[in-house]
Amino acid sequence: MNQTKNYSPKFILIVLLALVLSFTTSAASIDYYQIQVFRLNGKAQETKVDNFLKNAYLPALHRAGIKTVGVFKPIESDTTSGKRVYVWIPFKSLNHFSKIQDDLANDQEYQSKGSDFLGAPYNQVPFLRKESILLKAFSDAPEFFIPNHKTSPAERIYELRSYEGPTENLFRQKVKMFNEGGEIKLFKKLDFNAVFYAEVVSGSTMPNLMYLTTFADMAANTAHWDAFRNHPDWKALSALEEYKNTVSKSVKILLHPTDYSDF
């Protein structure tokens, strides 16, 4: 004999809330990233930024639960070498990003060890300007990846690329090319060891996307890109009409990690 169970309204509400929370957690499982770019006027400012990041900022982020922070500088042949420092920070959500800012404001050790930098007088500024770029990971690469190169930091090449779109719709087509089109899959197939692929949600050159590939050294960088450009999958994908004219400007920056970077 079948019996019909009568559930209380409270029980039904709890079940519904659990389902909503489960869906929210699943939907929020895409990383966010911040790239900070310190613009400098010379060695003195570079040293101040290095000391601040190494002794105050990265340790504070580690205490706040962010274990992997990347710090990079342009390679020696780049005209911006010695004039810029790039800091990459991963977050699990926008709320996580906001919480970390509060954590830093309330971290007394950070405030103390970073006081010379944070409280520098107006006529002894530690940098010219700081740019902040906020990014959301692509659906086909929802979480970051940390490579395990055996070469020294001075040999490794991290290539940061930015692709600006002429319009919002054409930009979306380029994003589609990376995801549904299979561009990310090809990068993975060819072992580009990308840290992330993401669209910029707040920055100075929107609409645009950015990604960071990594190589053991410059020779590996050259060999991998030659393989990519000549691969039949890329030739077929780039020939598709739907992906034509989706990039109005591309920027390539070759970087070395600092000796205090987490990777």
Is residue 11 in some structural domain?
no
Q: Which helix (H) or strand (E) holds 39?
A: strand 32-39
Count of domains observed in the chain: 1
Structural domain including 248 reads: 30-257
Per-residue model confidence (pLDDT) at position 7: 58
For residue 195, give Cα distances in angstroms to 13, 24, 33, 90: 41, 25, 11, 10
CA–CA gap between residue 239 and residue 237 (Å, rounded): 5
Query: Which is more confidently placed, 55 or 25?
Result: 55
CA atoms within 13 A on the CB side of 134: 10
Per-residue model confidence (pLDDT) at position 23: 45
Fill in the DSSP letter of residue 208: E
Is residue 4 in some structural domain?
no
Q: What is the residue whose two structure tokens read 């060890």?
A: 113
Answer yes or no: is pLDDT of 66 > 70: yes
Provide the CATH number for the domain around residue 228.
3.30.70.100
Is residue 45 in some structural domain?
yes
Is residue 24 in some structural domain?
no
pLDDT tens readout for residues 7-46: 555 444 445 545 544 444 445 589 999 999 999 999 999 9
Pairing of strands 84-91, 70-74: antiparallel
Is residue 18 in some structural domain?
no
Q: What is the residue whose two structure tokens read 């000391």?
A: 51
Per-residue model confidence (pLDDT) at position 24: 43
CA–CA gap between residue 166 and residue 116 (Å, rounded): 42
Q: Give mean pLDDT, residues 134-141.
A: 98
Per-residue model confidence (pLDDT) at position 20: 45
Is residue 191 in some structural domain?
yes
Which amino acid, 174?
A: K
Is residue 245 in some structural domain?
yes
**Percentage with pLDDT > 70 across the chain:** 89
CA–CA gap between residue 260 and residue 263 (Å, rounded): 8
Per-residue model confidence (pLDDT) at position 32: 98
Is residue 19 in some structural domain?
no
Q: Which helix (H) or strand (E) holds 9?
A: helix 9-27
- Contact at 8 Å (CB) between 135 and 144? no
- Contact at 8 Å (CB) between 161 and 243? no
